[in-house]
């Protein structure tokens, strides 16, 4: 009878482990209690590119050109604007010094010789509201 009781005790503890594993959220815990299975990921097929394909080369060239133009053009314009502001400050200082010496401001031709007008300087700003 003792042997039968010990068997039933083992069966009860094994059954509770099975029930606990059945209510567990992970499938790995249900198959092997105490061990966690690692999933292996299949390689991503969408990333495989053939760089010898002309369409791929054209696409990559477009990406590189877009990045260069998208970052380089605004940076170049900012640089040119800052340089123009420096030239204007120098021109104003020269014009003030010229006025103090001669009593006259510089002519448009003299200013244009020092600082070439930008395309925004040639535009006519009209408010048509």
How does pLDDT run across 31-50, given as a tens digit for each residue? 556 667 778 877 777 777 78
Could you tell me the pLDDT band of residue 124, with boundaries at 50, 70 and 90? confident
Question: Which residue's structure tokens are 């790995």?
Answer: 28
In a domain, 46, yes or no: no
Q: What rounded mean pLDDT belongs to the chain?
A: 76
Cβ–Cβ < 8 Å for 67, 75: no
In a domain, 21, yes or no: no
DSSP state for residue 51 in the 8-state scheme: T
Question: What's the structural domain count of the chain?
Answer: 1
Contact partners, residue 123, CB within 8 Å, separation at least 6:
none
In a domain, 100, yes or no: yes
Per residue in 59-76, pLDDT (tens digit) is 999 999 999 999 999 999
Residue 19 has pLDDT above 70, yes or no: no
Cβ–Cβ < 8 Å for 62, 56: no
In a domain, 22, yes or no: no
Structural domain boundaries, residue 97: 77-119
Residue 14 has pLDDT above 80, yes or no: no
């Amino acid at each position: 009878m003792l042997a039968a009781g010990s068997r039933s005790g083992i069966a009860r503890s094994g059954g509770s482990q099975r029930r606990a594993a059945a209510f567990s959220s992970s499938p790995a815990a249900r198959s092997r209690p105490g061990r966690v299975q690692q999933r292996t990921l299949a390689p991503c097929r969408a990333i495989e590119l053939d760089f010898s394909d002309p369409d791929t080369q054209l696409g990559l060239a477009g990406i590189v050109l877009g990045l260069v133009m998208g970052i380089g053009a605004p940076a170049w314009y900012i640089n040119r604007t800052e340089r123009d502001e420096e030239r204007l400050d120098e021109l104003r200082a020269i014009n003030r010094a010229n006025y103090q010496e001669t009593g006259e401001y510089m002519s448009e031709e003299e200013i244009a010789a020092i600082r070439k007008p930008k395309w925004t300087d040639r535009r006519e700003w009209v408010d048509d509201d």
